[in-house]
Amino acid sequence: MSYMDEALAQARLAMGRTSPNPAVGALIVKDGVIASRGHTQPPGGPHAEIVALQQAGEATRGATLYVTLEPCCYFGRTPPCTQAIITVGLAEVHIATLDPNPRVAGQGRAELEAAGIHTVVGEGEEEAKAINEAYCKYITTGLPLVIAKFSVSLDGKIATRTGDSRWVAGEASREYVHWLRDTTDAIMVGVGTVLIDDPQLTTRPSQVDPVRGVRHPLRIIADSTARTPPSAAVLKGPGRVLVATGPLPEERLAPLRDAGAEVMVLPLKGGHIDVSELLRELGRRQVTGVIVEGGGKLLGSFFDANLVDKVMVFVAPVIVGGRRAVPAVAGLGVAHMAQALRLQRVSIQRFGDDTLITGYLNSSLAGAAEGLGEAGKGGPRCH
């Protein structure tokens, strides 16, 4: 394992714990020996570089820093990391990838070089970007990364003709989904999923990392007519719940508030929640990433609006059949196969008997940003 690999491992420890800041890992090496390791602490706490510098003490002078993201160079909740690096006398800094934050964007590296510190950029860049893909989308557009995640049979169904969907994917796939929830700001379902499946939408891994613990993301229900029952399991678990609904009389909304949910009233589009406006509001709340888990109508609305950035589909080796079985993606769809959304940068993983297909939509970032006002101009504030 290289020194940058060690730094990337530190960054992974911070995933899901630093939003809206990026998850960063750092390593200080002196005379071929690792002097310290560090990863970004929750907002307001020290960044990865500072954790590593403090642990290394006097060993920093003349040493090399390996860091997964360009050190910040501006005052936020904490002072700039570049000044701390310069002060302690590091000789060299290896940076996996530059920070897309407009307030940094190469300026941190330039400041280090101007102080006589040699910098190297690019080692481990792909993995570093993958760790912070939600941060990168948010900091450049003001909007969360949208991941469409669902499990389907070989014939593309998410439930039988009776609505039964437990379980399409196997245990290994479900375990991985809990890791995804642990590292993501929010998950979203439509009210139909709540009414049919009564899911908890919490993070429930089979084993809990004693260092990281368990994190429950914000649970969002898209419910234009406030049909979510106050007795729903999603309202009883740990963590916060947000019900996005349309303009309704207060007596329709009060039971949800009394059950502990936050109610967000949004404009409707075609009788359904305007998902573009929902994303804007989540961006204003510094939600950097959201997993849309279903059902088909909600997923269809995101695909139709060209708001999906990343697709993760677990394909199970089962056949459901039936014309009335539930398809994975509804909505309007496309009229011609040539218009079908085609994934790029496709990867395939196996989880037990299931196959996970992951890919990105080429036009998703442009589509998400188009027409969304001032949210992304100049980048939102983190740090």
Answer yes or no: 123 catalytic. no
* Contact assessment for residue 289 and residue 137, using Cβ atoms and an 8 Å cutoff: yes
Beta-carbon contacts of residue 183 (< 8 Å; ≥ 6 apart): 15, 16, 215
Structure tokens at 10: 């530190």
SS3 197: helix
Can you list the alpha helix ranges (DSSP code H) found in 198-262?
250-258
Do the bridges between strand 33-39 and strand 64-67 make them parallel or antiparallel, or are there none, so unpaired?
A: unpaired
Closest CA to 10 of 43, 45, 52: 52
Beta-carbon contacts of residue 274 (< 8 Å; ≥ 6 apart): 266, 267, 268
Instruction: Give the Cα separation of 28 and 60 in Å (integer).
Output: 7
Strands (E), the chain: 25-30, 33-39, 64-67, 92-95, 118-121, 145-152, 157-159, 186-190, 218-222, 241-245, 262-265, 268-269, 272-273, 289-294, 310-315, 326-327, 343-351, 354-361
DSSP conformation class of 175:
H
- Dump the DSSP string for 73-102: -S-SSS--HHHHHHHHT--EEEESS----T
Closest CA to 355 of 316, 308, 301: 316
Among candidate residues 6, 49, 370, 374, the one labeled active-site is 49
Tell the burial category of 231 from Cβ atoms under 10 Å away from its Cβ (0-12, 13-18, 19+): exposed
DSSP conformation class of 20:
T
DSSP conformation class of 231:
T
Catalytic sites, residue numbers: 49
